[in-house]
Structure 1
Amino acid sequence: MSIFFKLFAILLVTTGLAIASEDSAEVVLTLRFENRTQEPVEFTLEDLNAFGEDQFSTTTIWTTGPQTFSGVSLKSFLNSLGIENGTILASAINDYTVEIPVSDAVIDGPMIAYRLNGEEMSIRDKGPLWIVYPYDSKSEYQAEVIYSRSIWQLDRIAIVD
C-alpha cells in the first residue's frame, strides 16, 4: 500500500469512514490515537520505507562496535501524519512500553529502524523495529533516559495528545 493511500486512509478514518486494506503484506507497526475516536492505522515495512529512508551509524550499549541503522526518522514519520505534540507510547511485542516525548522527534534525531547493517532485523535481533537515537552524535543522547526510550521489538505506537 503506498504511503499516499495510507495517508488518505488516515484522513478517511479521521472523518469516520472505513476502508479496506489493499495489501496483504505483514503489518509491523500499528498506530493509534489515545484521545481520538480514530481506527488504528497499520504499516508494513514498505509503508515505513515510503516515508523516506534515513541512515546513521552509531555505537550502542547493546551491540559491539559501530552499527549502521536504516529506517524512517521519527520526525518524518510524525510530521507526515500531522503529529506535532504530545507523548508517544511505544510498545514492544512483549507489551513493554516506554514514553517518548514528541519533542524528541528532531532533525538528525531518533529513527524507527528496520534495518541493521543492511539487513532486516528479526525478532531475535531486536526487530522488526527498533527506536534508536544517534547516540554518538550528541552527549545528551548518551544518557539513561534516552537509552530507556530506545525500545526494540517495537510493534505499536499510541499518540497521547
Structure 2
Amino acid sequence: MQKLHRILLIFALPLIAPCAHADPILDQPTGKVVLTIRGQISNKNRDNDAVFDMAMLSKLPQHTIATHTPWLPGISKFTGPYLQDVLALVGARGKSLKAIALNDYKTDIPLEDVTRFNVVLARLLNDKPMPVRDKGPLFIVYPYDSQLALRSEIYYNRSAWQLKTLQVE
C-alpha cells in the first residue's frame, strides 16, 4: 500500500504543485509602467515594488468625479480607480503617502484622505487619456466640489498630476 501511495504521489505531484502556490495578487505589467508603489506594502510584482501599466489600472472598478479645479476651466470629469482600491491591492500599511510626479514634484498625503474623500487616481480626463503635457498619465483628484474644505490650497497641493510614484510611509 505504501508503494502505491509513493507512485500516486510521484504522478500527482506535478498536478498538485501548481495549486499549492496561488496566483500572485498582482499581474505583471505587459505595457509601459505608469505607476510604481513602494514602501510599506505587502503585495509586490517587481523586486520590492508594485508596478502598474495602464491596462492593470483600467481593470479595477472605475469611478468618475465631475468637479471644478483651479487648473482647468469649468467642470471636468476625472475617471479612474479609487486610490484606496489601488492601495488595498498592494497591501499598503502606513500613515501617509509621498506622491512623486514626473517632474519630481513631491507632496505628502495622509493615508486617511484616500478613504475619507474617495480620492480618484484619474487616468481619463473628460473620457480621454491624459497625455503628459495635459497632466497625465495619472492625476490624484479629490472631489473638490463635494465639500467646501476641499477647495483649499491644502488639498490642491496634494493633487499630484503626472504621477509616477507613491511611497507608502
Deviation per residue, 1:37-95 (Å, 9 max, x gap): x6112101111122211112001000000000100111222223332541101000011
Answer whether contact 2:26 2:89 (CA < 8 A) is retained. no
- % identical aligned pairs: 33
Q: Say whether residues 1:138 and 2:147 are aligned partners.
A: yes
SS in 2 for 1:105: helix
* In structure 1, C-alpha distance between the alignment counterparts of 2:131 and 2:78, rounded to whole Å: 14
* In structure 2, C-alpha distance between the alignment counterparts of 1:58 and 1:116, rounded to whole Å: 11
Answer whether contact 2:50 2:90 (CA < 8 A) is retained. no
Answer whether contact 1:85 1:103 (CA < 8 A) is retained. no
More helix by share: 2
Unaligned runs of 5+ in 2: 1-21
State the superposition RMSD in angstroms.
2.4
Pairing of 1:1-161 with structure 2 (within 5 A): 7-8=25-26, 21=28, 23-33=29-39, 39-106=48-115, 109-160=118-169
Aligned residues: 145
* In structure 1, C-alpha distance between the alignment counterparts of 2:108 and 2:118, rounded to whole Å: 16
Q: CA deviation at 1:34?
A: 5.7
Q: CA deviation at 1:144?
A: 1.0
* In structure 2, C-alpha distance between the alignment counterparts of 1:85 and 1:27, rounded to whole Å: 24
* In structure 1, C-alpha distance between the alignment counterparts of 2:26 and 2:119, rounded to whole Å: 26
Whichever of the two has the greater Rg, that structure is 2
Give the 4+ runs in structure 1 shifted more than 6 A: none
| TM-score between the two structures when normalised by the length of structure 1 | 0.81
Letter in structure 1 aligned against 2:36: T
Q: CA deviation at 1:6?
A: 6.0
User: Is the alpha carbon distance of 1:8 and 1:87 closer, same or farther for their aligned partners in structure 2, counting shifts above 3 Å?
Assistant: same
User: Is the alpha carbon distance of 1:121 and 1:102 closer, same or farther for their aligned partners in structure 2, counting shifts above 3 Å?
Assistant: same
